């Protein structure tokens, strides 16, 4: 999807937040802010929001000289989520509909997002789990169940560190032989990379690839050839998080998007309030995403 004018003030604020998180040097905060203001004054709004975020966070890494400034945060988030895992697995095991509970919990994990939130604590995560388990959830589960039952090659595109532990619950409901997990190609914000897949035990569960990109999403024209082959071979794609929705909502593929709507632009785009847990399905016609359905209501047309 394109970048909305409403994304711009939000990007400016996020840049300042990120700069302050990474350094106490006020001259650095001012420099990166001025750079981002200059870029955005001339930016191509046909690009998706994660493409600008990619550029901002590359620049933050260059200026701080730290190629993975969120490394410690990601390790903490993985540990926090792994500590919850046995309890979450027990919830799925005892659920009347394990697939639906696993979907809900995978969505709950999407709260662990340092692009949208300044900090994420265990208490935020517990509230998100509670919310995910209790909120109304429209009937896309059966569509995903049906798609899973016939799929030969499932590509699961992860989003953030910590969150990928929650993805293990949903992946456990899929046929393991046919599943590939994709992570980012290089560090950006707290997005999951190969290091996080390994730290959370994924490398022994399913095939794991990286997408070759350091965008906080999946811009196909920035992804590696190996990832694209896997992407186009997949007959079912599950894509987690807003960044994957923003970069793939107009892409070909039989995609189920699972995310929390974290900003007014996305919420308006899918016709739901901010904070809603969304499962949107693209209809998979190559090159055209066509009609989508979301968790909270009837069909929604989007370009």
Asked if residue 118 binds a second copy (CB under 8 A), the reply is no
Taking the complex as a whole, the smallest distance from the CB of residue 243 to a second copy amounts, in Å, to 20
Taking the complex as a whole, the smallest distance from the CB of residue 37 to a second copy amounts, in Å, to 4
- Of the pair 40, 193, the CB lying nearest a second copy is at 40
Cα within 13 Å of Cα(283), Cβ side:
12
How many chain residues are in contact with a second copy, going by CB under 8 A?
20
Binds a second copy by CB under 8 A, chosen from 24, 42, 65, 286: 42
Closest Cα partner for 53 from 210, 214, 266, 274?
Answer: 214
Binds a second copy by CB under 8 A, chosen from 45, 63, 80, 82: 45
- Of the pair 16, 194, the CB lying nearest a second copy is at 16
Closest Cα partner for 49 from 265, 240, 276, 238?
Answer: 265
Burial 94-108 (b: 16+ CB within 10 A, else e): eeeebbbbbbbbbbb
Say if CB 250 and CB 47 are below 8 A apart.
no
Taking the complex as a whole, the smallest distance from the CB of residue 16 to a second copy amounts, in Å, to 6
Strands 277-281 and 207-210: unpaired
Cα within 13 Å of Cα(176), Cβ side:
8
Taking the complex as a whole, the smallest distance from the CB of residue 116 to a second copy amounts, in Å, to 15
- Of the pair 29, 55, the CB lying nearest a second copy is at 29
Return the range that interacts with a second copy (CB under 8 A); candidates 2-10, 97-105, 224-232, 288-296.
2-10
Binds a second copy by CB under 8 A, chosen from 2, 21, 35, 47: 35
Residues of this chain, 171-200, that bind a second copy according to CB under 8 A: none
Taking the complex as a whole, the smallest distance from the CB of residue 17 to a second copy amounts, in Å, to 9
| DSSP string over 134-173 | HS---S-HHHHHHHHHH-SSEEEE--BTTHHHHHHHHHTT
- At a CB cut-off of 8 Å and minimum separation 6, what does 203 contact? 197
Binds a second copy by CB under 8 A, chosen from 41, 46, 94, 119: 41
- At a CB cut-off of 8 Å and minimum separation 6, what does 244 contact? 157, 159, 217, 218, 257, 259
Taking the complex as a whole, the smallest distance from the CB of residue 7 to a second copy amounts, in Å, to 10
Measured between alpha carbons, how far is 58 from 61 in angstroms, rounded to an integer? 5
Provide the 10 A C-beta neighbour count for residue 33.
Answer: 15
Residues of this chain, 4-33, that bind a second copy according to CB under 8 A: 5-6, 8-10, 12-13, 16, 26, 29-30, 33
Q: Is the dihedral of CA 146, 148, 153, 158 positive or negative?
A: positive
Binds a second copy by CB under 8 A, chosen from 34, 118, 126, 127: 34
Taking the complex as a whole, the smallest distance from the CB of residue 26 to a second copy amounts, in Å, to 8
Measured between alpha carbons, how far is 281 from 262 in angstroms, rounded to an integer? 18
Phi-psi region of 48 (alpha: psi -120 to 50; beta: other; left: phi over 0): beta
Taking the complex as a whole, the smallest distance from the CB of residue 3 to a second copy amounts, in Å, to 11
Binds a second copy by CB under 8 A, chosen from 18, 40, 197, 238: 40
> What is the binding site for a second copy (CB under 8 A)?
5-6, 8-10, 12-13, 16, 26, 29-30, 33-35, 37-38, 40-42, 45
């Amino acid at each position: 999807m394109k970048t909305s004018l409403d994304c711009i003030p939000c990007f400016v604020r996020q840049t300042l937040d990120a700069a302050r998180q990474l350094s106490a040097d006020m001259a650095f905060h001012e420099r990166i802010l001025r750079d981002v203001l200059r870029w955005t004054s001339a930016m191509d709004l046909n690009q998706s929001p994660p493409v600008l975020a990619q550029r901002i966070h590359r620049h933050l890494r260059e200026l701080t000289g730290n190629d993975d400034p969120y490394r410690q945060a990601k390790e903490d988030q993985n540990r926090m989520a792994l500590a919850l895992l046995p309890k979450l697995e027990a919830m799925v095991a005892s659920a009347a509909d394990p697939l639906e509970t696993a979907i809900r919990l995978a969505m709950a994990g999407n709260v662990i997002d340092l692009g949208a939130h300044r900090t994420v604590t265990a208490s935020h995560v517990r509230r998100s789990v509670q919310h995910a388990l209790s909120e109304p959830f429209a009937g896309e589960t059966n569509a995903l169940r049906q798609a899973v039952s016939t799929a030969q090659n499932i590509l699961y595109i992860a989003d953030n560190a910590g969150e990928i532990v929650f993805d293990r619950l949903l992946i456990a409901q899929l046929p393991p032989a046919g599943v590939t997990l994709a992570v980012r190609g290089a560090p950006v914000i707290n997005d999951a990379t190969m290091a996080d897949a390994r730290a959370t035990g994924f490398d022994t569960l399913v095939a794991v690839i990286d997408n070759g990109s350091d965008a906080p999403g999946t811009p196909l024209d920035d992804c590696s050839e190996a990832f694209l082959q896997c992407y186009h071979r997949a007959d079912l794609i599950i894509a987690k998080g807003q960044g994957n929705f923003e970069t793939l909502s107009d892409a070909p593929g039989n995609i189920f998007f699972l995310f929390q709507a974290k900003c007014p632009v996305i919420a308006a785009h899918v016709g739901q309030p901010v904070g809603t847990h969304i499962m949107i399905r693209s209809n998979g016609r190559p090159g055209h995403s066509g009609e989508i359905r979301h968790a909270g209501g009837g069909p929604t047309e989007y370009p």
